[in-house]
Structure 1
Amino acid sequence: MTMTEDSLFASTLDGNVLASIRRAIAEFLQRCGAHYEAYILDDAWHTECCQEAISRGIPMDGKYSIRPFIPACVALTANAYGHLPDRATRMWICLLDSVILAVDDHLVGGQDMEHMNRFNERFVNCQPQGNPVLNSLDMLLREAPRYHSPLVSNLITTSTLDYTSSIVLDHETKDMQISTKTPSYPEYWRILSGLPNAIAFLLFPSTLPVQEYIQSMPDLAIITGHMNDILSFYKEEISGDTANYISLRAASRDITKLDALREVIDQTVQAHHNILESWKPHTEAYDAYVSFFHGYVRFHCTPRYKLEEIMSERSSCDDS
Protein backbone atom coordinates (compact mmCIF):
# COMPACT_ATOMS: atom_id res chain seq x y z
CA MET A 1 0.00 0.00 0.00
CA THR A 2 1.37 3.42 -0.93
CA MET A 3 1.60 6.39 1.41
CA THR A 4 -1.25 8.02 -0.46
CA GLU A 5 -3.49 5.05 0.11
CA ASP A 6 -2.52 5.02 3.79
CA SER A 7 -3.57 8.65 4.11
CA LEU A 8 -6.98 7.76 2.70
CA PHE A 9 -7.72 4.70 4.77
CA ALA A 10 -6.18 5.57 8.13
CA SER A 11 -8.40 7.55 10.48
CA THR A 12 -7.00 10.24 12.76
CA LEU A 13 -7.10 9.03 16.36
CA ASP A 14 -4.39 11.29 17.79
CA GLY A 15 -5.95 13.34 20.57
CA ASN A 16 -4.23 16.58 19.59
CA VAL A 17 -5.29 16.23 15.97
CA LEU A 18 -8.88 15.46 16.97
CA ALA A 19 -8.89 18.58 19.14
CA SER A 20 -7.63 20.57 16.15
CA ILE A 21 -10.43 19.12 14.02
CA ARG A 22 -13.00 20.17 16.62
CA ARG A 23 -11.55 23.68 16.74
CA ALA A 24 -11.49 23.98 12.95
CA ILE A 25 -15.16 23.00 12.66
CA ALA A 26 -16.15 25.27 15.56
CA GLU A 27 -14.31 28.16 13.91
CA PHE A 28 -16.06 27.38 10.63
CA LEU A 29 -19.44 27.83 12.29
CA GLN A 30 -18.26 31.01 13.99
CA ARG A 31 -16.97 32.49 10.72
CA CYS A 32 -20.38 31.83 9.15
CA GLY A 33 -22.33 33.28 12.06
CA ALA A 34 -23.82 29.90 12.98
CA HIS A 35 -24.18 28.36 16.41
CA TYR A 36 -25.39 25.23 18.15
CA GLU A 37 -29.14 25.10 18.71
CA ALA A 38 -31.69 22.37 19.25
CA TYR A 39 -32.91 20.79 16.05
CA ILE A 40 -36.60 20.63 15.23
CA LEU A 41 -38.45 17.36 15.78
CA ASP A 42 -41.91 16.93 14.28
CA ASP A 43 -43.58 13.64 15.17
CA ALA A 44 -46.75 14.53 13.30
CA TRP A 45 -44.74 15.26 10.14
CA HIS A 46 -42.96 11.92 10.53
CA THR A 47 -46.26 10.07 10.77
CA GLU A 48 -47.63 11.92 7.76
CA CYS A 49 -44.54 11.13 5.66
CA CYS A 50 -44.76 7.43 6.54
CA GLN A 51 -48.43 7.36 5.60
CA GLU A 52 -47.70 9.14 2.33
CA ALA A 53 -44.96 6.65 1.47
CA ILE A 54 -47.30 3.73 2.11
CA SER A 55 -50.08 5.28 0.03
CA ARG A 56 -47.66 5.75 -2.88
CA GLY A 57 -46.44 2.16 -2.75
CA ILE A 58 -42.92 3.10 -1.67
CA PRO A 59 -41.40 0.11 0.17
CA MET A 60 -41.68 0.52 3.93
CA ASP A 61 -40.83 -3.05 4.94
CA GLY A 62 -38.46 -5.75 3.78
CA LYS A 63 -35.07 -5.53 2.11
CA TYR A 64 -35.74 -2.28 0.26
CA SER A 65 -37.58 -0.45 3.03
CA ILE A 66 -37.03 3.30 3.27
CA ARG A 67 -38.51 3.40 6.80
CA PRO A 68 -35.11 3.60 8.58
CA PHE A 69 -34.22 6.71 6.55
CA ILE A 70 -37.42 8.68 7.02
CA PRO A 71 -36.60 10.13 10.48
CA ALA A 72 -33.40 11.80 9.23
CA CYS A 73 -35.16 13.17 6.16
CA VAL A 74 -38.09 14.41 8.23
CA ALA A 75 -35.58 16.28 10.40
CA LEU A 76 -33.75 17.60 7.33
CA THR A 77 -36.96 18.84 5.74
CA ALA A 78 -38.25 20.43 8.94
CA ASN A 79 -34.99 22.23 9.64
CA ALA A 80 -33.47 23.08 6.26
CA TYR A 81 -36.57 23.34 4.06
CA GLY A 82 -39.12 24.52 6.59
CA HIS A 83 -39.20 27.95 4.93
CA LEU A 84 -40.79 26.54 1.78
CA PRO A 85 -44.46 27.57 1.80
CA ASP A 86 -45.86 24.59 -0.10
CA ARG A 87 -46.41 21.54 2.09
CA ALA A 88 -46.69 19.17 -0.88
CA THR A 89 -43.23 20.28 -2.05
CA ARG A 90 -41.76 19.59 1.38
CA MET A 91 -43.38 16.15 1.39
CA TRP A 92 -41.91 15.37 -2.02
CA ILE A 93 -38.45 16.49 -0.87
CA CYS A 94 -38.70 14.32 2.24
CA LEU A 95 -39.70 11.21 0.29
CA LEU A 96 -37.14 11.84 -2.45
CA ASP A 97 -34.35 12.22 0.11
CA SER A 98 -35.46 9.09 1.97
CA VAL A 99 -35.44 7.03 -1.21
CA ILE A 100 -32.03 8.40 -2.23
CA LEU A 101 -30.57 7.36 1.13
CA ALA A 102 -32.16 3.94 0.81
CA VAL A 103 -30.71 3.48 -2.67
CA ASP A 104 -27.23 4.29 -1.40
CA ASP A 105 -27.55 1.94 1.56
CA HIS A 106 -29.27 -1.05 -0.03
CA LEU A 107 -27.49 -1.41 -3.35
CA VAL A 108 -24.18 -2.96 -2.37
CA GLY A 109 -23.53 -5.24 -5.32
CA GLY A 110 -24.75 -8.24 -7.26
CA GLN A 111 -28.01 -8.00 -9.18
CA ASP A 112 -28.97 -4.75 -7.48
CA MET A 113 -25.83 -3.08 -8.80
CA GLU A 114 -26.69 -4.30 -12.28
CA HIS A 115 -30.07 -2.63 -11.92
CA MET A 116 -28.36 0.52 -10.65
CA ASN A 117 -26.08 0.52 -13.67
CA ARG A 118 -29.11 0.59 -15.95
CA PHE A 119 -31.14 3.10 -13.95
CA ASN A 120 -30.55 6.08 -16.25
CA GLU A 121 -31.16 4.04 -19.38
CA ARG A 122 -34.45 2.73 -18.01
CA PHE A 123 -35.42 6.17 -16.74
CA VAL A 124 -34.92 7.75 -20.17
CA ASN A 125 -36.81 4.93 -21.88
CA CYS A 126 -39.64 4.90 -19.31
CA GLN A 127 -38.97 1.26 -18.48
CA PRO A 128 -39.57 -0.42 -15.12
CA GLN A 129 -36.57 -0.39 -12.81
CA GLY A 130 -35.08 -3.53 -11.32
CA ASN A 131 -36.32 -3.33 -7.73
CA PRO A 132 -38.91 -1.46 -5.62
CA VAL A 133 -36.65 1.29 -4.27
CA LEU A 134 -35.35 2.15 -7.75
CA ASN A 135 -38.92 2.19 -9.03
CA SER A 136 -39.73 4.66 -6.25
CA LEU A 137 -36.81 6.90 -7.18
CA ASP A 138 -37.92 6.79 -10.82
CA MET A 139 -41.48 7.73 -9.85
CA LEU A 140 -40.47 10.62 -7.60
CA LEU A 141 -38.03 12.09 -10.10
CA ARG A 142 -40.77 12.20 -12.73
CA GLU A 143 -42.82 14.33 -10.34
CA ALA A 144 -40.23 17.14 -10.22
CA PRO A 145 -42.13 19.28 -12.78
CA ARG A 146 -45.12 19.37 -10.41
CA TYR A 147 -43.11 21.39 -7.93
CA HIS A 148 -40.61 23.33 -10.04
CA SER A 149 -40.29 25.06 -13.39
CA PRO A 150 -39.21 22.95 -16.38
CA LEU A 151 -35.66 24.35 -16.20
CA VAL A 152 -35.22 23.79 -12.47
CA SER A 153 -36.83 20.34 -12.54
CA ASN A 154 -34.46 19.39 -15.38
CA LEU A 155 -31.44 20.46 -13.32
CA ILE A 156 -32.68 18.62 -10.23
CA THR A 157 -33.22 15.51 -12.33
CA THR A 158 -29.82 15.55 -14.03
CA SER A 159 -28.09 16.09 -10.68
CA THR A 160 -29.92 13.06 -9.28
CA LEU A 161 -29.05 10.96 -12.32
CA ASP A 162 -25.40 11.91 -11.77
CA TYR A 163 -25.78 10.66 -8.22
CA THR A 164 -27.01 7.26 -9.39
CA SER A 165 -23.99 7.05 -11.68
CA SER A 166 -21.71 7.89 -8.74
CA ILE A 167 -22.92 4.79 -6.90
CA VAL A 168 -21.83 2.63 -9.82
CA LEU A 169 -18.58 4.59 -10.06
CA ASP A 170 -17.85 3.94 -6.38
CA HIS A 171 -18.48 0.24 -6.90
CA GLU A 172 -16.21 0.00 -9.93
CA THR A 173 -13.37 2.05 -8.42
CA LYS A 174 -13.43 0.71 -4.85
CA ASP A 175 -9.92 -0.76 -5.21
CA MET A 176 -8.51 2.11 -7.26
CA GLN A 177 -5.25 3.64 -6.08
CA ILE A 178 -5.58 7.35 -5.36
CA SER A 179 -3.10 9.34 -7.41
CA THR A 180 -1.50 12.60 -6.31
CA LYS A 181 -1.20 13.53 -9.99
CA THR A 182 -4.97 14.07 -10.28
CA PRO A 183 -5.81 16.47 -7.43
CA SER A 184 -9.05 17.60 -9.08
CA TYR A 185 -10.58 14.13 -9.06
CA PRO A 186 -12.19 14.55 -5.61
CA GLU A 187 -14.07 17.61 -6.92
CA TYR A 188 -15.42 15.62 -9.84
CA TRP A 189 -16.43 12.78 -7.54
CA ARG A 190 -18.13 15.19 -5.13
CA ILE A 191 -20.15 16.87 -7.88
CA LEU A 192 -21.48 13.48 -8.94
CA SER A 193 -22.05 11.96 -5.52
CA GLY A 194 -23.09 14.95 -3.43
CA LEU A 195 -26.17 16.12 -5.34
CA PRO A 196 -25.02 19.72 -4.82
CA ASN A 197 -27.17 21.20 -7.58
CA ALA A 198 -30.29 19.27 -6.64
CA ILE A 199 -29.96 20.27 -2.99
CA ALA A 200 -29.35 23.88 -3.98
CA PHE A 201 -32.30 24.24 -6.34
CA LEU A 202 -34.64 22.59 -3.85
CA LEU A 203 -34.14 25.36 -1.30
CA PHE A 204 -35.90 28.02 -3.40
CA PRO A 205 -39.66 28.50 -3.65
CA SER A 206 -40.86 27.55 -7.11
CA THR A 207 -42.22 31.07 -7.62
CA LEU A 208 -38.76 32.66 -7.35
CA PRO A 209 -37.38 33.65 -10.78
CA VAL A 210 -34.20 31.74 -11.55
CA GLN A 211 -32.38 34.89 -12.67
CA GLU A 212 -32.43 36.13 -9.08
CA TYR A 213 -30.07 33.40 -7.88
CA ILE A 214 -28.56 31.46 -10.79
CA GLN A 215 -25.27 33.39 -10.94
CA SER A 216 -24.47 32.31 -7.39
CA MET A 217 -25.08 28.63 -8.08
CA PRO A 218 -21.34 27.78 -8.23
CA ASP A 219 -20.93 29.17 -4.71
CA LEU A 220 -24.15 27.55 -3.56
CA ALA A 221 -22.98 24.19 -4.92
CA ILE A 222 -19.89 24.56 -2.73
CA ILE A 223 -22.12 25.18 0.28
CA THR A 224 -24.46 22.27 -0.39
CA GLY A 225 -21.58 20.01 -1.36
CA HIS A 226 -19.19 20.77 1.48
CA MET A 227 -21.22 21.68 4.56
CA ASN A 228 -21.99 18.05 5.27
CA ASP A 229 -18.37 17.13 4.51
CA ILE A 230 -17.24 19.58 7.18
CA LEU A 231 -19.90 18.93 9.80
CA SER A 232 -19.68 15.13 9.43
CA PHE A 233 -15.90 14.86 9.43
CA TYR A 234 -15.30 14.72 13.18
CA LYS A 235 -17.75 11.90 13.83
CA GLU A 236 -16.41 10.04 10.79
CA GLU A 237 -12.83 10.30 12.02
CA ILE A 238 -13.55 9.05 15.52
CA SER A 239 -15.57 6.15 14.11
CA GLY A 240 -12.82 5.19 11.63
CA ASP A 241 -14.93 6.00 8.56
CA THR A 242 -12.56 7.19 5.84
CA ALA A 243 -14.86 6.88 2.82
CA ASN A 244 -15.43 10.62 2.60
CA TYR A 245 -14.48 13.66 0.56
CA ILE A 246 -12.00 15.12 3.06
CA SER A 247 -9.99 11.89 3.16
CA LEU A 248 -10.05 11.59 -0.62
CA ARG A 249 -8.94 15.21 -1.04
CA ALA A 250 -6.09 14.71 1.42
CA ALA A 251 -4.91 11.57 -0.37
CA SER A 252 -5.07 13.10 -3.84
CA ARG A 253 -3.05 16.14 -2.72
CA ASP A 254 -0.70 14.25 -0.40
CA ILE A 255 -1.57 16.47 2.55
CA THR A 256 -2.91 15.75 6.01
CA LYS A 257 -6.63 15.41 6.56
CA LEU A 258 -6.54 18.38 8.90
CA ASP A 259 -5.01 20.53 6.17
CA ALA A 260 -7.60 19.26 3.69
CA LEU A 261 -10.37 20.11 6.15
CA ARG A 262 -9.00 23.62 6.60
CA GLU A 263 -8.83 24.14 2.82
CA VAL A 264 -12.45 23.07 2.42
CA ILE A 265 -13.52 25.29 5.31
CA ASP A 266 -11.83 28.35 3.80
CA GLN A 267 -13.45 27.66 0.43
CA THR A 268 -16.88 27.17 1.99
CA VAL A 269 -16.70 30.27 4.20
CA GLN A 270 -15.78 32.36 1.17
CA ALA A 271 -18.68 30.91 -0.82
CA HIS A 272 -21.06 31.66 2.06
CA HIS A 273 -20.07 35.31 2.23
CA ASN A 274 -20.12 35.62 -1.57
CA ILE A 275 -23.74 34.48 -1.55
CA LEU A 276 -24.78 36.81 1.24
CA GLU A 277 -23.22 39.76 -0.55
CA SER A 278 -24.62 38.96 -3.99
CA TRP A 279 -28.17 38.33 -2.75
CA LYS A 280 -28.58 41.41 -0.59
CA PRO A 281 -30.71 43.07 -3.32
CA HIS A 282 -32.79 39.89 -3.72
CA THR A 283 -34.65 39.58 -0.45
CA GLU A 284 -36.54 36.37 -1.17
CA ALA A 285 -33.44 34.49 -2.35
CA TYR A 286 -31.41 35.88 0.55
CA ASP A 287 -34.00 34.90 3.15
CA ALA A 288 -34.43 31.42 1.67
CA TYR A 289 -30.69 30.83 1.72
CA VAL A 290 -30.20 32.08 5.28
CA SER A 291 -33.07 29.91 6.48
CA PHE A 292 -31.63 26.89 4.67
CA PHE A 293 -28.08 27.49 5.88
CA HIS A 294 -28.94 27.81 9.55
CA GLY A 295 -31.51 25.03 9.30
CA TYR A 296 -28.91 22.74 7.74
CA VAL A 297 -26.55 23.47 10.61
CA ARG A 298 -29.40 22.85 13.06
CA PHE A 299 -30.08 19.50 11.38
CA HIS A 300 -26.50 18.52 12.21
CA CYS A 301 -27.10 19.30 15.89
CA THR A 302 -28.46 15.79 16.42
CA PRO A 303 -26.26 13.66 18.72
CA ARG A 304 -25.05 11.72 15.66
CA TYR A 305 -22.81 14.59 14.50
CA LYS A 306 -21.42 15.51 17.94
CA LEU A 307 -21.69 19.25 17.31
CA GLU A 308 -22.31 19.91 20.99
CA GLU A 309 -18.91 18.37 21.74
CA ILE A 310 -17.36 20.37 18.91
CA MET A 311 -18.86 23.64 20.09
CA SER A 312 -17.55 23.03 23.61
CA GLU A 313 -14.09 23.26 22.05
CA ARG A 314 -14.98 26.73 20.84
CA SER A 315 -16.21 27.71 24.30
CA SER A 316 -13.01 26.53 25.93
CA CYS A 317 -11.00 28.52 23.37
CA ASP A 318 -13.08 31.63 24.04
CA ASP A 319 -12.55 31.26 27.79
CA SER A 320 -8.78 30.84 27.53
Structure 2
Amino acid sequence: MRKIAKLAADASCRCYPFHPPDLQSKIALFFTYFFTIDDLIRDFPTEAQNFRRDVLQQKPLSPVFESCRERLIDLDGYYDPYSADMVSKSVPRVLTSFRINFRFKTGLPEALIYLLAPRSVFGAESTRYLVQLAPELAVIINGINDILSFYKEVMVAQEPVNFVQHFAMVKGESVVEALEGVVERVVGCLGNGRRVVAGWPLLRGYVEAFV
Protein backbone atom coordinates (compact mmCIF):
# COMPACT_ATOMS: atom_id res chain seq x y z
CA MET A 1 0.00 0.00 0.00
CA ARG A 2 2.84 2.40 0.84
CA LYS A 3 4.48 1.79 -2.53
CA ILE A 4 1.19 2.40 -4.32
CA ALA A 5 0.63 5.60 -2.32
CA LYS A 6 4.08 6.86 -3.28
CA LEU A 7 3.45 6.15 -6.96
CA ALA A 8 0.02 7.79 -6.72
CA ALA A 9 1.46 10.93 -5.14
CA ASP A 10 4.12 11.12 -7.84
CA ALA A 11 1.51 10.63 -10.57
CA SER A 12 -0.70 13.36 -9.12
CA CYS A 13 2.13 15.90 -9.01
CA ARG A 14 3.40 15.01 -12.48
CA CYS A 15 0.00 14.99 -14.18
CA TYR A 16 -1.36 18.08 -12.42
CA PRO A 17 1.65 20.23 -11.47
CA PHE A 18 -0.36 23.48 -11.43
CA HIS A 19 -3.16 22.23 -9.17
CA PRO A 20 -3.30 23.53 -5.59
CA PRO A 21 -1.41 21.25 -3.16
CA ASP A 22 -4.58 20.28 -1.30
CA LEU A 23 -6.19 19.12 -4.54
CA GLN A 24 -3.04 17.25 -5.55
CA SER A 25 -3.27 15.42 -2.22
CA LYS A 26 -6.93 14.53 -2.82
CA ILE A 27 -6.12 13.22 -6.30
CA ALA A 28 -3.19 11.21 -4.92
CA LEU A 29 -5.49 9.56 -2.38
CA PHE A 30 -8.02 8.81 -5.12
CA PHE A 31 -5.28 7.26 -7.26
CA THR A 32 -4.06 5.21 -4.29
CA TYR A 33 -7.41 3.54 -3.73
CA PHE A 34 -8.12 3.29 -7.45
CA PHE A 35 -4.84 1.42 -8.04
CA THR A 36 -5.31 -0.68 -4.90
CA ILE A 37 -8.72 -1.83 -6.06
CA ASP A 38 -7.31 -2.53 -9.51
CA ASP A 39 -4.74 -4.85 -7.91
CA LEU A 40 -7.31 -6.58 -5.69
CA ILE A 41 -10.23 -6.66 -8.07
CA ARG A 42 -9.93 -10.35 -8.92
CA ASP A 43 -10.06 -11.20 -5.22
CA PHE A 44 -13.37 -9.37 -4.76
CA PRO A 45 -15.24 -9.85 -8.05
CA THR A 46 -18.74 -9.70 -6.57
CA GLU A 47 -18.14 -6.53 -4.59
CA ALA A 48 -16.44 -4.96 -7.58
CA GLN A 49 -19.37 -5.78 -9.85
CA ASN A 50 -21.89 -4.47 -7.30
CA PHE A 51 -20.05 -1.29 -6.31
CA ARG A 52 -22.35 1.13 -8.15
CA ARG A 53 -25.51 -0.59 -6.95
CA ASP A 54 -24.28 -0.87 -3.36
CA VAL A 55 -23.39 2.84 -3.28
CA LEU A 56 -26.79 3.85 -4.66
CA GLN A 57 -28.58 1.58 -2.21
CA GLN A 58 -26.37 2.80 0.64
CA LYS A 59 -25.25 -0.70 1.50
CA PRO A 60 -22.16 -1.22 3.68
CA LEU A 61 -18.89 -1.48 1.74
CA SER A 62 -15.62 -3.11 2.69
CA PRO A 63 -12.99 -0.64 3.96
CA VAL A 64 -11.08 -0.23 0.69
CA PHE A 65 -14.24 0.26 -1.40
CA GLU A 66 -15.68 2.62 1.21
CA SER A 67 -12.46 4.64 1.17
CA CYS A 68 -12.65 4.90 -2.61
CA ARG A 69 -16.23 6.18 -2.34
CA GLU A 70 -15.11 8.78 0.19
CA ARG A 71 -12.33 9.93 -2.11
CA LEU A 72 -14.88 10.59 -4.84
CA ILE A 73 -16.85 12.73 -2.39
CA ASP A 74 -13.66 14.63 -1.53
CA LEU A 75 -13.05 15.46 -5.19
CA ASP A 76 -16.63 16.47 -5.87
CA GLY A 77 -16.27 19.94 -4.37
CA TYR A 78 -13.33 20.87 -6.58
CA TYR A 79 -15.01 20.39 -9.96
CA ASP A 80 -18.10 21.46 -11.83
CA PRO A 81 -20.93 18.90 -11.68
CA TYR A 82 -20.32 17.41 -15.12
CA SER A 83 -16.60 16.85 -14.56
CA ALA A 84 -17.27 15.43 -11.10
CA ASP A 85 -19.83 13.04 -12.58
CA MET A 86 -17.37 11.88 -15.23
CA VAL A 87 -14.73 11.18 -12.58
CA SER A 88 -17.23 9.39 -10.33
CA LYS A 89 -18.51 7.10 -13.05
CA SER A 90 -14.97 6.05 -13.91
CA VAL A 91 -14.76 3.79 -10.86
CA PRO A 92 -17.75 1.51 -11.56
CA ARG A 93 -16.82 1.43 -15.24
CA VAL A 94 -13.41 0.02 -14.38
CA LEU A 95 -14.82 -2.35 -11.78
CA THR A 96 -17.40 -3.85 -14.14
CA SER A 97 -15.16 -4.20 -17.19
CA PHE A 98 -12.03 -5.73 -15.68
CA ARG A 99 -12.70 -9.12 -17.28
CA ILE A 100 -12.97 -7.70 -20.79
CA ASN A 101 -10.37 -5.76 -22.74
CA PHE A 102 -12.61 -2.76 -23.45
CA ARG A 103 -10.07 -0.09 -24.27
CA PHE A 104 -12.46 2.85 -24.30
CA LYS A 105 -15.01 1.39 -21.93
CA THR A 106 -12.68 1.42 -18.94
CA GLY A 107 -12.83 4.64 -17.03
CA LEU A 108 -9.32 5.56 -15.92
CA PRO A 109 -8.36 7.75 -18.92
CA GLU A 110 -11.68 9.56 -18.63
CA ALA A 111 -11.12 10.25 -14.93
CA LEU A 112 -7.63 11.57 -15.61
CA ILE A 113 -8.95 13.93 -18.26
CA TYR A 114 -11.76 15.43 -16.20
CA LEU A 115 -9.43 16.03 -13.25
CA LEU A 116 -7.55 18.52 -15.43
CA ALA A 117 -9.63 21.64 -14.84
CA PRO A 118 -10.53 22.58 -11.25
CA ARG A 119 -13.58 24.81 -10.94
CA SER A 120 -11.68 27.38 -8.87
CA VAL A 121 -9.32 28.00 -11.80
CA PHE A 122 -11.46 27.50 -14.90
CA GLY A 123 -15.10 27.68 -13.84
CA ALA A 124 -17.76 25.77 -15.74
CA GLU A 125 -16.52 27.07 -19.11
CA SER A 126 -13.87 24.35 -19.23
CA THR A 127 -16.48 21.61 -19.64
CA ARG A 128 -17.10 22.23 -23.32
CA TYR A 129 -13.36 22.10 -23.96
CA LEU A 130 -12.91 18.90 -21.98
CA VAL A 131 -15.74 17.21 -23.87
CA GLN A 132 -13.86 17.89 -27.10
CA LEU A 133 -10.51 16.98 -25.59
CA ALA A 134 -11.60 13.71 -24.01
CA PRO A 135 -11.54 11.49 -27.15
CA GLU A 136 -8.14 12.82 -28.19
CA LEU A 137 -6.56 12.53 -24.75
CA ALA A 138 -8.01 9.04 -24.25
CA VAL A 139 -6.19 7.88 -27.39
CA ILE A 140 -3.01 9.58 -26.19
CA ILE A 141 -3.16 8.02 -22.71
CA ASN A 142 -3.84 4.53 -23.99
CA GLY A 143 -1.42 4.89 -26.89
CA ILE A 144 1.47 6.04 -24.73
CA ASN A 145 0.81 3.11 -22.40
CA ASP A 146 0.96 0.73 -25.37
CA ILE A 147 4.15 2.31 -26.69
CA LEU A 148 5.96 2.27 -23.35
CA SER A 149 4.87 -1.28 -22.47
CA PHE A 150 5.48 -2.74 -25.95
CA TYR A 151 8.95 -4.11 -25.23
CA LYS A 152 7.97 -5.67 -21.91
CA GLU A 153 4.71 -7.22 -23.12
CA VAL A 154 5.57 -8.22 -26.68
CA MET A 155 9.33 -8.66 -26.91
CA VAL A 156 10.02 -10.06 -23.42
CA ALA A 157 6.84 -11.67 -22.10
CA GLN A 158 5.46 -12.43 -25.59
CA GLU A 159 1.94 -11.88 -24.33
CA PRO A 160 -0.65 -12.90 -26.93
CA VAL A 161 -3.34 -10.53 -25.61
CA ASN A 162 -1.91 -7.13 -26.42
CA PHE A 163 -3.47 -4.13 -28.12
CA VAL A 164 -0.64 -3.67 -30.62
CA GLN A 165 -0.81 -7.33 -31.64
CA HIS A 166 -4.58 -7.15 -32.03
CA PHE A 167 -4.21 -3.95 -34.03
CA ALA A 168 -1.67 -5.65 -36.30
CA MET A 169 -3.96 -8.62 -36.87
CA VAL A 170 -6.96 -6.44 -37.72
CA LYS A 171 -4.95 -4.22 -40.06
CA GLY A 172 -3.09 -7.11 -41.67
CA GLU A 173 0.25 -5.56 -40.74
CA SER A 174 3.37 -6.61 -38.92
CA VAL A 175 3.57 -5.84 -35.22
CA VAL A 176 6.22 -3.19 -35.89
CA GLU A 177 4.01 -1.51 -38.49
CA ALA A 178 1.11 -1.57 -36.05
CA LEU A 179 3.28 0.01 -33.35
CA GLU A 180 4.29 2.75 -35.78
CA GLY A 181 0.59 3.27 -36.49
CA VAL A 182 -0.11 3.72 -32.78
CA VAL A 183 2.68 6.30 -32.58
CA GLU A 184 1.28 8.19 -35.57
CA ARG A 185 -2.20 8.16 -34.07
CA VAL A 186 -0.94 9.52 -30.76
CA VAL A 187 0.92 12.32 -32.54
CA GLY A 188 -2.18 13.14 -34.58
CA CYS A 189 -4.42 13.24 -31.52
CA LEU A 190 -1.91 15.44 -29.73
CA GLY A 191 -2.17 17.94 -32.57
CA ASN A 192 -5.97 17.76 -32.46
CA GLY A 193 -5.98 18.35 -28.71
CA ARG A 194 -3.71 21.35 -29.01
CA ARG A 195 -6.03 22.87 -31.59
CA VAL A 196 -9.00 22.44 -29.23
CA VAL A 197 -7.33 24.54 -26.51
CA ALA A 198 -5.41 26.90 -28.80
CA GLY A 199 -7.65 29.80 -27.84
CA TRP A 200 -7.26 29.29 -24.09
CA PRO A 201 -3.56 29.51 -23.16
CA LEU A 202 -4.15 28.74 -19.48
CA LEU A 203 -5.95 25.47 -20.19
CA ARG A 204 -3.44 24.63 -22.90
CA GLY A 205 -0.67 24.94 -20.31
CA TYR A 206 -2.46 22.46 -18.05
CA VAL A 207 -2.97 20.06 -20.97
CA GLU A 208 0.67 20.30 -22.07
CA ALA A 209 1.85 19.59 -18.53
CA PHE A 210 -0.52 16.64 -18.28
CA VAL A 211 0.65 15.07 -21.53
Normalised-by-shorter TM-score class:
0.7 to 0.9
Residue type at the aligned position of 1:229: D
C-alpha contact (below 8 Å) 1:227/1:268 kept by paired residues: yes
Question: Are residues 1:92 and 2:26 paired?
Answer: yes
User: Matched residue pairs, number?
Assistant: 206
CA distance in 2, matches of 1:220, 1:232: 18
Could you state the TM-score of these two structures normalised by the residue count of structure 1? 0.59
Match of 2:86 among 137, 142, 155: 155
C-alpha contact (below 8 Å) 1:213/1:285 kept by paired residues: no
C-alpha contact (below 8 Å) 1:229/1:245 kept by paired residues: yes
Q: CA deviation at 1:196?
A: 1.7
Per the alignment, in what secondary structure is the counterpart of residue 82 of structure 1?
A: coil
Per the alignment, in what secondary structure is the counterpart of residue 262 of structure 1?
A: helix
Q: CA deviation at 1:241?
A: 6.3
Q: CA deviation at 1:273?
A: 0.7
Deviates more, 1:280-289 or 1:233-242: 233-242
Partner of 2:103: 190
Q: CA deviation at 1:106?
A: 1.7
C-alpha contact (below 8 Å) 2:109/2:142 kept by paired residues: yes
- Write out aligned runs for 1:60-79 (5 A): 66-79=1-14
- Write out aligned runs for 1:98-117 (5 A): 98-109=32-43, 112-117=44-49
C-alpha contact (below 8 Å) 1:276/1:286 kept by paired residues: yes
Structure 2 gaps of 5+ residues are none
Q: CA deviation at 1:258?
A: 2.3
Question: Are residues 1:199 and 2:134 paired?
Answer: no
CA distance in 1, matches of 2:12, 2:204: 19
Q: Deviations over 1:249-283 (max 9, x none)?
A: 34555644323322221111101011112322111
Q: Which runs of 4+ in 1 moved over 6 A?
A: none
Q: CA deviation at 1:240?
A: 0.7
CA distance in 2, matches of 1:163, 1:241: 25
Question: Which protein is richer in helix relative to its size?
Answer: 2
CA distance in 2, matches of 1:202, 1:226: 19
Could you state the TM-score of these two structures normalised by the residue count of structure 2? 0.86
C-alpha contact (below 8 Å) 1:81/1:292 kept by paired residues: yes
Instruction: Report the CA distance shift for 1:234/1:279 in structure 2 as closer, same or farther (over 3 A).
Output: same
Q: Deviations over 1:12-33 (max 9, x none)?
A: xxxxxxxxxxxxxxxxxxxxxx
C-alpha contact (below 8 Å) 1:247/1:257 kept by paired residues: yes
CA distance in 1, matches of 2:12, 2:158: 26
Structure 1 gaps of 5+ residues are 1-65, 171-185, 294-320
CA distance in 2, matches of 1:237, 1:273: 28
Partner of 1:271: 189
Q: Which has more radius of gyration?
A: 1
Per the alignment, in what secondary structure is the counterpart of residue 60 of structure 2?
A: coil
Q: Deviations over 1:190-246 (max 9, x none)?
A: 112352211111122323222344323221221223222222222333441635433
- Write out aligned runs for 1:1-320 (5 A): 66-84=1-19, 86-109=20-43, 112-129=44-61, 131-167=62-98, 169-170=99-100, 189-193=102-106, 195-206=108-119, 207-208=121-122, 209=125, 210-240=127-157, 242=159, 243-251=161-169, 253=171, 255-293=173-211
C-alpha contact (below 8 Å) 1:165/1:192 kept by paired residues: no
Residue type at the aligned position of 2:132: Q
Per the alignment, in what secondary structure is the counterpart of residue 190 of structure 1?
A: coil
Residue type at the aligned position of 2:33: V
Identity of aligned residues (%): 22
Residue type at the aligned position of 1:218: P
